[in-house]
Structure formats: structure tokens, C-alpha cells
Chains A and B, each alone.
Chain A
Amino acid sequence: MLNIVEIEHLTVQYPDVKALDDVSFTVKEGDFLGIIGPNGAGKSTLFASMLGLNTKYRGTIKFFGQDIKKSKNYLKEIGYVPQKPIFEKNFPATVTDVVKMSLQKESNEKNIDNILQQLWIHELRDRRIGELSGGQQQRVFIAKALVNNPKILILDEPVTGIDQQSIDLFYSILRELNSKQKITIIWSSHDLDAVNQLANHVACLNRTLFFHGESDEFFQNDDLVKQYSEASMQEHMHHH
């Protein structure tokens, strides 16, 4: 299988803290990679760097074999679902308006109906985005990310503050996108059980990468899971 993403020695130094320290890993076509790590582990910095939003890093990031500092073309092949999309609460845009915003080609417009149906939001298409529940909004942003038939879907902690039923629906949608439509998925999450069930690869990040490999390899190694749980528990206590 083709290496679709190659990250080599990625280091991001903020004024007071090293957000990422010498992180290297690859993602192959068709992978479903779950990135886990406690708060402040550098997941959002990693994504910001991969998406070209943060350019102040050392090391290289390649998509489809090409350094992203040389060309932004790779972004056309990526669908991105942010952690919590920020927009004006009363922004006058319907679901269709929002999904259409990311259209790269007019010819992709015919995809919209199918995608909305697939994500169970077709009947909401003329509603204002701000009137929807968190779970519905999240599906709108997935639809928006899918509209250009991306090869890769990048999702940043996308279940924060959403009800369980919507989360289950969201997970089944992800599984289908990966298994049926062969979309490579890179997904950061706090939910170890969900990562265990969905992802076939795991990357464990806490500023440095302390595990990257097959999902089974991680979850069958009690020491690793324990180490991770302790690290995130400490972080959790630290935050409270």
C-alpha cells in the first residue's frame, strides 16, 4: 500500500514549551488511524501543521510523496472536520449553504444530495445551521468535508459535547466511509474504547510519539494501555 502521509522528525517549538518533539510516522492508503493522547499532548498542533495552518515547524510533512511546503494542492484531497466549528450563532446560512462553501468544482454539487442522505441530514438541508443540535451540526461538517470526494478525512476530537446516540451514529458513519468508500481516516480522540473498535492503527502522542503501530498491538499490550491511562489520568488530575 502507498504511503499517503509521511511525517519525519516533526518538531514544533512554542516560546514557552515544545509542543511536538521529533514526531515521525506514516499513514498508508486505506488506514484508519486513531491518534490518542491527553490534553495538551500536541494533537491539535499536529493537525494544524498537517493542514498548513501552522508553518513554523522543523522536520518535513509529505502528502502523496510531496512536501507540503512546496505545494498546497494536497489540500484538495483532504476533508477536515474541526473539533468544534466556531461560527456566529445567528449566521444566516442553511445546511446546504454551509456544505457548498467548500465546493472546489461546480461539478461536485451533484454529490451534495447523496452525502446529506448518507449522513441522515437531508431533511435538515434548508434549516439554519445555528438551529441544529451539536450532533446534527457535526454531521453537517462531515458532509462539508466529504463534498469534494476527498482521499483523506482528518477529524479533530469531533465528539466533544455531543449526545451518545449521535456519537454512535457518527462512529458507524466513519466505519462505513473507511471500509466501503476506502477513505483514509486520521482521527484524534479521547475515547480509547472507540479507537479500539474503529481504528486499525494507533498513534499515541504526548509531545513525543510513544507508540505507533497496529491497533491490536497496542490494545493487547497491557503495559502500554496502562502507561497511557496513567499519563492521561495524571493530566486529568492536573487539569482539575
Chain B
Amino acid sequence: MSLEILTFSFMHRALISGVAIAILCSVIGLFLVLRRYSLFGDAIAHSSFGGIALGLLAGVYPLWTAYGVSLVSALLITRIKEKFNISGDASVAVLLSSGIAVGLVIIGISGGFTVDIFSFLFGSILLVSVNDTILILFLTGIILIVVLLLYRQILYSTFNEEQAKVSGVPVEKINYLIVFMAGITVVTSIQLVGVLLISALFVIPNVTAIMYGKGFKQTAIISITFSIFSVVTGILISYILNITPAGTIVLLSIALFAGTMGIKSTKLLSKN
């Protein structure tokens, strides 16, 4: 197989956007996983499906309506959890199914499934446009800058909310900021892996990295590295073999996770 594929401009866009999304999902996902919010990404993604259907029905660019709907649901989920004393996983489950339900009803009204819907469900990274790439890079940049500026506060309130409060960290505001950034990250990542597989990017590289890293920064770097590896290799392999990139990317990160568990368990065995 030649390296010719690396000369295509659609491939450049796919790889650049893919790497940006990989970094973004790893960073935001690490905080979500440690907050026991692993399925939050999934819930937002499913609710944004409702937003996508709405956009397609109204003739608006579907990702814009998806951003709107996902941010509203992200804030709603947090509010419901705070106000009504419903557990995190239950509020995630409610939101997850309502998004899909709304989406299905709207799709029904507008006359059934189309190719567009499938590309949002399963991703379409090879079709990403120049404007999409610029938007992805812009949002990734903004979110990473915010995370770096508020690194200590975000980490502290993830570690222990009560202690963070006593140290003067505005924990409630930080919590809202996290879900807000997660909402944007999810919709931005839809183009890479689609609605159905987003939580894989949030969760798998991070649970893998947590098994290796000692400190927080080291863990984040390992997670980003695994994530970039899966995305880049996944995009290239899927193009060469003509299979779906989303599935390939997620399977590669699952392979890294499984390999890590294998290494760790042989180490544990040899210790005993």
C-alpha cells in the first residue's frame, strides 16, 4: 500500500480534525471519568441526536441545532441532579432516552431516515470540510486554554468537592463549566465517531491511562497519546481497508485497553 493517501487534502483535514478531537475528548473525558460521570458524554450525544433531527427538519445546519440542544441538556442534567436529588446515572438515563425519542419522532414527521442521519449516527470524518476543520481547531483551542487556566480548580473540585469549597474554589460554577465544555466537546466529536460511539473516546483512553499514570498530568498525557494513536491509525486503516473509521478507531482503543489489562494482570501474577 503506498503513502499516496497522505497526499489527499480530505485526508489532511480528517487527520488534523481527528487529532484535535482526540486531545479534547481525552482531557474532558478524564475529568468526567474521575467524577463518575462516564456516561454523561453518551447522554449528551444522544440528546444532540434530537438536535440534529431538528436541524435537518428545519433546514438549518444540523450541528448548530445539536450544539444548542446538547448545551441545554447538559445544564438541565446538572440542574435536575442538584435540585431533585436524583442520582447522576438516573438523570443521565432519562436524558439519553429523551434525546433519541425526540429525534425519532422528528425524523418520522420529516419522512424517515436519510443518508444524512446515518453520517451523524456513525461519523463521517473523511467528509469533514475546511470550515468544519477550522471550527474544530478553534473550539479545541478555546477549551484547552480554559482547562489550563482553571486547571487547579477543576482538578481540586474533581478530587473532593467539600475540600475544594473550604479552599475557596467556586465548586458549583466549575461543575457547570465542566458540563458546558463536555457538551461542546460531544457535538464537535460527532463528526469523528458519530453519536453512538462518542463515550468510547471519552472513557476508554482514560481508563487505560489511569492504569499506567502516577500523577494527573502524566495520566492525561498517556491518555492523549493513546487516543491520538487510535484515531490516526484508525482513520488510515479504515481508508485502506474501506471499512468504517468510527468502528476501527474505537476497536483500536479497546485493543489498547485489553492489552493493558493483560500486561497488568501478568505483572500481578508474577508478583504473587
Contacts and interface: CB of A to CB of B under 8 A. Distances in A.
Interface size class of B (residues with CB under 8 A): 20 to 34
A82 B163 contact: yes
A232 B156 CA distance: 36
Nearest to B164: A101
Interface stretch (B61-69, B92-100, B211-219): B211-219
Secondary structure type dominating chain A contacts: loop
A128 B214 CA distance: 6
A127 interface: yes
B160 A51 contact: no
Interface in A48-81: 51-53, 72, 75-76, 78, 80
B210 A92 contact: yes
B159 A72 contact: no
Given A92-B219, A102-B156, A127 B166 contact: no
Q: Which of A51, A75, A101, A104 has the most CB of B within 10 A?
A: A101
A103 B166 contact: no
Given A92-B214, A93-B215, A100 B165 contact: no
A88 interface: yes
A94 B215 contact: yes
Interface string B22-37: 0000000000001010
B166 A101 contact: no
Contacts of A72: 168
A161 interface: no
Contact of B156 (A51, A86, A101): A101
A90 B165 contact: no
Interface string B153-190: 00110011011111110000000000000000000000
Contact of B216 (A52, A76, A78, A97): A97
Given A102-B163, A127-B214, 19 more contacts: A52-B165, A75-B167, A78-B166, A80-B163, A85-B163, A86-B160, A87-B160, A88-B36, A91-B34, A91-B159, A92-B214, A93-B215, A93-B216, A97-B215, A97-B216, A101-B156, A101-B164, A126-B214, A126-B215
